[in-house]
Amino acid sequence: MTVCLLLLCAVALTAAVPAPRALTRAAWPERDPVVALWVWQCLVATVLLCCLAALVLGTAAVFHTVRDRVFAPAPPAVTAAYDLSAAPVWAAVLTLLLACGAAWTTAMLGRELAEVRRRRGRARAHLRERAPELPAGLPAARGPMLVLEDEYPDAWWMPGHPPQLVVTTGALHRLTGHQLDAVLAHERGHARAHHDWLLHLSTALATGFPRVPLFAHFCDQTHRLVELAADDTASRRHGHLTTALALIELNQHRGVLSCASSHRLLGERVDRLLEPRPRLDRRRRALTTAVAALVPLLPLLITFAPGLTALS
Mean pLDDT of 89-108: 94
Q: Compute the distance between CA of residue 159 and CA of residue 34 in angstroms, rounded to an integer.
A: 20
Q: Which of 59-73, 95-109, 228-242, 258-272 has the lowest mean pLDDT?
A: 258-272
Phi, psi of 137 (to 5 degrees): 100, -20
Q: Compute the distance between CA of residue 232 and CA of residue 240 in angstroms, rounded to an integer.
A: 8
For the segment 126-144, what is each residue's pLDDT rounded down to a tens digit? 877 777 555 555 445 555 7
pTM of structure: 0.89
Query: What DSSP character marks residue 277?
Result: P
Q: What angle do CA 79, 85, 87 make, to 5 degrees?
A: 115
SS3 193: coil
For the segment 230-273, what is each residue's pLDDT rounded down to a tens digit? 999 999 999 999 999 999 988 876 655 444 445 678 889 999 99
Q: Which of 109-123, 157-171, 176-190, 232-246 has the lowest mean pLDDT?
A: 157-171
| CA-based end-to-end distance of the chain | 18
Q: Compute the distance between CA of residue 193 and CA of residue 226 in angstroms, rounded to an integer.
A: 9
